[in-house]
Amino acid sequence: MPKTSPTPHVALVTGANQGIGAATARELAARGAAVLCAYLDPRTADAADGAPTGEDVAEEIRRAGGRADAYAADLSDPTAPAALFDHAEARLGPVDILVNNASGWVQDTFTPEPADRFGRPLRPVSPETFRQQFAVDALAPALLIGELARRHRARGADWGRVIGLTSGAELGFPGEVSYGAAKAAQTHYTLSAAAELAALGITANVVHPPVTDTGWVTDEVRRFVEESPTLFHVASPEQVARTIAHLASDEAELITGNVITLR
């Protein structure tokens, strides 16, 4: 029989205000987990007026009968991971599912070209692009995994799940070089966690989504996918979220230390 948690699961999902993060928060809640929707306050992120917040997603979950709360945190602040766990424990209970979804996405490159093939502007690699990308996509996930492990051990828990999100390919991520490099770092942190935390009953996996329509996919992008020999689908956030939720389930107890590529 799979080992199950004696109490309802509590999930911490970063970047939970939109896209894959929001879909994952909803899916985990629909499967019975309480969810803390962590998000970057749009007032501090140059977001458009009316951009969704984690509270919007949490309220949607609550209206559907689930348990959820939201917490605005800038993951480039190294104190944010501990604050997120403190808030989750106070409002929902100890976290045993961690989904590292948030990204400090910047589109930087080594090429002198001003835009990519889809017309999106490119920035040269700089200390600023490196710091922004690695702080959110590599350092924050590492600190969040560390918080989960420390608190898990302290309370004598024996069930936990870590799921990271990655991107890139064999040749890195041309056109988004710091994004690809930071995601590669997060992948290594997560796979190391799978080995180091196995004795604590924690599994750790990384999901590599296909091209996912979170609002940026154009007809040109769809044609690119159709013509690609390795990209098979343009996915919805909900499709990716179902895979993440499965990895967070009791049934996935033997799935650990993997990069799961969705196509």
Q: Locate the domains of the chain by residue range.
A: 10-261
Instruction: Estimate to the nearest angstrom the gap between the alpha carbon of 47 and the chain centroid.
Output: 19
Name the burial class of residue 117, with classes exposed (0-12), middle (13-18) and buried (19+) by CB atoms within 10 angstroms of its CB: exposed
12: buried, middle or exposed (CB in 10 Å: 19+, 13-18, 0-12)? buried
Are 101 and 23 a contacting pair, CB within 8 Å?
no
* DSSP class of 214: S
- Say if residues 193 and 145 touch (Cβ distance below 8 Å): yes
List of the chain residues with pLDDT < 70? 1-7, 44-50, 117-118, 213, 216-219, 221, 225-227
CATH architecture, domain 10-261: 3-Layer(aba) Sandwich (3.40)
* pLDDT tens digits for range 192-248: 999 999 999 999 999 999 777 677 666 676 777 666 777 777 778 999 999 999 999
Q: Which of 39, 71, 179, 189 is catalytic?
A: 179
The answer to whether 56 touches 23, Cβ cutoff 8 Å, is no
Burial class (CB in 10 A: 0-12, 13-18, 19+), 114: exposed
Evaluate whether 249 touches 33 at the Cβ level (below 8 Å): no
In the annotation, is 189 catalytic?
Answer: no
pLDDT in tens, 212-227: 767 766 667 677 766 6
DSSP three-state, residue 12? strand
Question: Can you count the helices (H) and strands (E) in the chain?
Answer: 8, 11
Contact 209, 20 (CB under 8 A): yes
Give pLDDT, residue 10. 98
Tell me the Cα Rg of the chain: 18
Under 8 Å between Cβ of 91 and 69 = yes
Tokens of 34: 């309480």
pLDDT of the residue at 142: 98
pTM of this structure: 0.90
pLDDT number for residue 95: 98
Closest CA to 29 of 255, 257, 262, 244: 244
